[in-house]
Amino acid sequence: MGWRLKLAGRGDAASDEDAMRRVRANGDPVAFAQLVARWETPIRRLCVRMTGDEHRGEDLTQEAFARAFANRQRFDGSGRFSTWLWRIALNLCYENHRRMKLRSEESFDARDDRPHGLDGPSEHAETSERAAMVRDALARLPELHRSIVVLRQYEGLKFREIADVLGIAEGTAKWRMSEALDQLAESLKPLAEVEEPPESEEQQPAVEPSAPVMEKVSVAL
Amino acid sequence: MTHPDTEELMDYLYGELDVARRGAVAEHVAACEACKGRLATWGGVRRELDTWELPDAPTRPVAQPRAARGWPVVRWAVAASVLLATGYGLARLNAPQPSTTTASTIDTATLRDELKRELRAELGRELKADHAKFASEQSDRQAAFRQAVADALEELDTRQVVRNATLRRDMETVALRAREELDQLASSTQTGNVLTPPYQQQ
């Protein structure tokens, strides 16, 4: 589809704000469709990883854009459109998480140790066992920590922008990230044991594999 | 040199340190088992996290038969816009017998109007069913959004009139399927098998 191909791609931040200006001025659906085309995939990735559920994530993505359009007057253009949109999507994920939690608490055979909001293994035949472990480990993180991990590791946001999205200090974002990585190291220990030696990170000298330092860090809930 | 604090190590891990600090931290890490260990642990976690890949395309692509779930709104609107693009698609599919008219003799504008009316009616049916059962602020927002995006896609499509015959043939196939989906949608809303908003699933 020609028009879709033309609109795809992130584009630069300035054009997002230009589009939103038109959307705010007269509900310009063409401008909004451009924003949808540009941001649908990253928002969907966020929602799928936050909920651990492909279908739920897609539904929340739709709702995120609906909410963004409905609340378009609330975007005053002082910050970036993307920051605002990430925040809308995350709030929807939080609301979803609360609903799932309530539902499972009311349910007769609710089990405390089961991660909330996840489908059973049979739903996602294509999800490898390894990916499922990662998904479950992420689900066990507190929401704030999970948000930071998803934004930093999967969506490549800088800590500065993550702090803006979440309304926390930049230092706090980095500290929570370290707590999250420590907790994930613990959860993913079974996977780590069959791991190959690490390659060198970009901008980092090659680090020799050593026994992982398992710090017991209390993660604030 | 004293240990870099956790925040600085995190900056280092993610390449957010400036060149000056990066060199100093790298030097420290090379000689410090504790910091080296922390970075190794975190690096390992990052690699594990990356094994959870997601497909670029959503699970519900544009013009394929869907499972018994609500259409994603944008996909639906895209399918509708494809119908608009073909122009003569509606007339052909509605004709009781094979039509002898060709695309060039059909009044495209009239067909667009017809389809627009049908689209709105379809939207109306779907939205009515939604509203009836889930009268809420969120439903209204969804409705506004659906209409806006359907309008937008229609307008976008209007700007690119498709003249290429091959492309038109391909779009005709897609339109056929989209038409089937619309029929399914219509019948499912009419029989009361209401599309369930995501946040109120049973």
Of the partner residues B13, B40, B52, the one whose CB lies closest to the CB of residue A134: B52
pLDDT on residue B108? 52
Burial A201-221 (b: 16+ CB within 10 A, else e): beebeebeeeebbeeeeeeee
Put simply, the chain B residues between 29 and 68 with a CB less than 8 A from any chain A CB are 29-30, 33-34, 36-54, 56, 58-60
Of the partner residues B10, B145, B199, the one whose CB lies closest to the CB of residue A65: B145
Tokens of B9: 């190590």
Residue-averaged pLDDT of chain B = 63
Residue B26 at interface with chain A, using a CB cutoff of 8 Å? yes
Residues B114-156: pLDDT tens digits?
Answer: 656 666 666 666 656 555 554 455 556 566 666 666 666 555 5
pTM as predicted: 0.59
CB contact under 8 A, A70 and B74: no
Lowest mean pLDDT among A20-24, A173-177, B149-153: B149-153
pLDDT on residue A34? 86
User: Is 80 exceeded by the pLDDT of residue A117?
Assistant: no
Question: What single string gives the DSSP state of each residue in A70-137?
Answer: HTGGG--SSS-HHHHHHHHHHHHHHHHHHHHHHHHHHSTT--TTSPTT---GGG-TTS-HHHHHHHHH
CB contact under 8 A, B49 and A153: yes
Amino acid at B60: R
CB contact under 8 A, B44 and A192: yes
Query: To the nearest 10°, the Cα dihedral for A144, A146, A152, A155?
Result: -120
Lowest mean pLDDT among A48-62, A157-171, B10-24, B131-145: B131-145
Lowest mean pLDDT among A37-46, B65-74, B164-173: B65-74
| B11 or B92: which leads in pLDDT | B11
Residues A84-108: pLDDT tens digits?
Answer: 999 999 999 999 999 988 888 876 5
Distance from CA of B3 to the nearest CA of A (A): 15
Amino acid at B170: D
Burial A71-106 (b: 16+ CB within 10 A, else e): ebeebeeeebbbbbbbbbbbebbeebbeebeeebee
- How far apart CA B78 and CA B76 sit, in angstroms, is 5
pLDDT on residue A39? 93
User: Is 70 exceeded by the pLDDT of residue A33?
Assistant: yes
Question: Maximum Cα–Cα distance for chain A, whole Å?
Answer: 60
Q: ipTM score of the complex?
A: 0.77
